[in-house]
Structure 1
Amino acid sequence: MISTTIDQEIKQAMLAKDQAKLRGLRAIKAALLLAKTEKGHAEEISEDAEMKILQKLVKQRKESATIYKEQGREDLYIVEQEEIDVISQFLPQQLAQADIEKIIARIISESGASSIKEMGKVMGLANKELAGKADGKLIGEIVKTQLG
């Protein structure tokens, strides 16, 4: 489980006085604790759920970083980028776009989808297979291109 690793990493970051890493780790810990209490019980959350939480944290920070960059707030942009780097270490390695395109092409041929009307079906299969390995937005763009 990620939570035990996070606790150990927080201790190491505190000892090293690494503020950027500490911020990112604390954000992960807070999000995991929130998810645990939202469910209404003290059971451990699944590894799949943990990955979704981490992906959400990265996505939020990327959106914020983009806004900060557009508004010329380099100081805040750097903070968001540092946290993205820390959180991303706990996510599976992202696939290259070429690999994603091959997987989606295979899914399309296996499912028999032939038009953009079947995008939902293909997206469901692709998101299931590529969960945690590719950004949902990128998957959607590739599916749209290949079906369109």
Structure 2
Amino acid sequence: MSLELNINSAIKAAMLAKSEAELRALRAIKAAILIAKTAEGGNGELTEADESKMLQKLAKQRKDSLEIFRQQNREDLAVKEEEELAVIERFLPKQLDESALREAVIRIIAETGATSPADMGKVMGTATKQLAGQADGKAISALVKELLSK
């Protein structure tokens, strides 16, 4: 079932359950889907990769906002962002855990022949393509930097 159909049925369930936080997040996802489908140059359909990329973008926005709200001691707003993030993460593909991510990055470093931090761009290009939707870019970058600086 497509993401859009899943979101529509989840919206109905959230309305029946009167779950305000869930409804807020689901409507944000639906709005992002509609914007992506009607974007210039789009064909009106989203691939699974497009859907995953869009959900990751929404999750990243929530994480960034959450961090800012916590720094500014706005716990009321931080709670809302956390609730929305939890709903968005339900629809994201399963993320790699730390050890699996480390193994994948080590394999990619070996494939690319990288030996120093100067090769980070080459490794990151390959890693972001191979691990798209499975890991956060910041986590990949930090791990690549750590492994290449040894």
| TM-score bin, normalised by smaller chain | over 0.9
Structure 1 unmatched ranges of 5 or more = none
Which residue matches 2:52? 51
2:100 aligns to what SS in structure 1? helix
Aligned 1:14-53 pairs, distance under 5 A: 14-41=15-42, 43-53=44-54
Which residue matches 1:115? 116
Aligned 1:46-85 pairs, distance under 5 A: 46-85=47-86
Q: Distance in 1 between matches of 2:59 and 2:140?
A: 17
| Structure 1 residue runs of 4 or more that deviate by more than 6 Å after TM superposition | none
Deviations 1:49-101 (A, max 9, x none): 11111101010111111111111111110000000000000001111112111
What RMSD over aligned residues (CA atoms) do the two structures have, in Å? Answer: 1.1
TM-score (norm 1): 0.95
- What is the number of equivalent residue pairs in this alignment? 148
Which residue matches 1:144? 145
TM-score (norm 2): 0.94
AA aligned opposite 1:119: M
1:120 aligns to what SS in structure 2? helix
Deviations 1:105-126 (A, max 9, x none): 1111122111222111111111
Structure 2 unmatched ranges of 5 or more = none
Displacement of 1:39? 3.0
Q: Does 1:10 align with 2:19?
A: no
Paired-residue identity, %: 53
Q: Distance in 2 between matches of 1:31 and 1:41?
A: 13
